[in-house]
A = this chain, B = another copy of it.
Amino acid sequence: MTELKNDRFLKALLREPVDITPVWMMRQAGRYLPEYRATREKAGSFMDLCMNPELACEVTIQPLERYPLDAAILFSDILTIPDAMGLELRFAQGEGPKFDKPLTCKADVDALGVPDPEGELKYVMDAVRTIRKELAGRVPLIGFSGSPWTLATYMVEGGSTKEFGKVKGMMFDEPQTMHKLLDTLAQSVTSYLNAQIAAGAQAVMIFDTWGGVLTPRDYKEFSLRYMQQIVDGLTRENDGRKVPVVLFSKGGGGWLKEMAQTGCDALGVDWTLDLADARAMVGDQVALQGNMDPSILYAKPERIEQEVKTVLQSYGKGNGHVFNLGHGIHQHINPDNVGVFVNAVHEHSVKYHEESSVER
């Protein structure tokens, strides 16, 4: 077991004192980096890259070579589980993800099994193992999955959607079929994340990209309930340390209180609410991860630095803040601006932690 040299990310998620605010970015291994685009080219398709543990490891490490980030996140896709279930994922040029065999009825849902994480999904676990070895304790590795509701939207729609007509049609007219699907997905995600933890993931995050398209009632019944089921079923320890669990429902700013009650350790927060207000909502229950508007990275360095200060001040003093963007980094961002951002978080966060060991 390699010693973890930088654990401020894990400590902050558990609301323990740290020296400076840890920072990472959603989609930090991505298209804004020329070296990512080169590896992607070498790999073939996007899924070829996901399925090649050595290349997935390579792109996972790339942003850490450029910036002093405090965590690495497994390079993979949220749709690996439906693909392993037999829906045949592909990425059509400029169209986003497509399933050749979307779910259309109860019989399709009944036929789904829980994929074996060390079977059809072994390539993901191999990537986790390869990355952990390559990281050699430099920073912790985050594993992740899509939420059951978010996976269900793609599985029923057959791809991306703006209107969610098919998946909501099933939810409204055949709630039992939808619950069956979500339960199968919750079991699958639980097993998938536990396997990632066994393979070496030191924290896990559940991306509920589409929870925010639901009414408050439907969010609780069809999204949050199944994230709760996953949180209840996760192995929360690895290498003798607690494995923190982060939930992120994009557009879920109004539901942070309910999310915090699932027993997760931290919540991702998008940029449509102030961290000060988010913190007031959740109190001491969970840490918060976020929430700078990703578009600020289009701005000039001095404006980026100013915005970092604003977000740090909004969270304020005390433990429990992991700095992140409120959503994934955009593909046309200048990589130099990311350096400005990451350094600014470290530089300007010192004063928010100076007294934390005393205050504890």
* Chain A positions 289 through 311: 1 when the CB is less than 8 Å from some CB of chain B, otherwise 0: 00001111011100100010010
Residue of B nearest to A306 (CB): B172
Specify which of B173, B212, B253, B296 is in contact with A303 (CB 8 Å cutoff): B173
* Chain A positions 213 through 228: 1 when the CB is less than 8 Å from some CB of chain B, otherwise 0: 1111110000000000
Give Cα distance in the complex from A217 to B332, angstroms. Answer: 25
Number of copies: 2
Chain B residues with CB below 8 A from A263, complex form: none
Chain B residues with CB below 8 A from A166, complex form: 298
Residue of B nearest to A213 (CB): B272
Specify which of B164, B272, B293, B295 is in contact with A295 (CB 8 Å cutoff): B164
Contact flag A168-B271 (CB < 8 Å), given A253-B254, A254-B253 = no
Check if A330 is an interface residue, CB within 8 A of chain B. yes
Check if A169 is an interface residue, CB within 8 A of chain B. yes
Pair A165/B253 contact, Cβ less than 8 Å: no
Pair B212/A172 contact, Cβ less than 8 Å: no
Give Cα distance in the complex from A332 to B214, angstroms. Answer: 19
Which A residues between 140 and 174 are near B, CB-CB below 8 angstroms?
Answer: 163-166, 168-169, 172-173
Pair A165/B298 contact, Cβ less than 8 Å: yes
Contact flag A172-B215 (CB < 8 Å), given A165-B332, A251-B272 = no
Pair A168/B298 contact, Cβ less than 8 Å: yes
Check if A274 is an interface residue, CB within 8 A of chain B. yes
Contact flag A212-B295 (CB < 8 Å), given A300-B173, A303-B173 = no
Specify which of B163, B216, B294, B295 is in contact with A330 (CB 8 Å cutoff): B163
Give Cα distance in the complex from A253 to B215, angstroms. Answer: 12
Chain B residues with CB below 8 A from A216, complex form: 272-274, 277
Chain B residues with CB below 8 A from A307, complex form: 172
Residues of A participating in the B interface, judged by any CB pair closer than 8 Å: 163-166, 168-169, 172-173, 212-218, 251, 253-254, 271-274, 277, 293-296, 298-300, 303, 307, 310, 330, 332
Q: Which 4 A-B pairs have the closest CB atoms?
A: A172-B299, A168-B295, A169-B298, A165-B298
A–B complex contacts, Cβ < 8 Å, 21 sampled = A163-B294, A163-B295, A163-B330, A165-B330, A165-B332, A168-B293, A168-B295, A168-B296, A168-B298, A169-B299, A172-B298, A172-B299, A173-B300, A173-B303, A213-B272, A214-B293, A215-B271, A216-B272, A218-B293, A251-B251, A254-B254
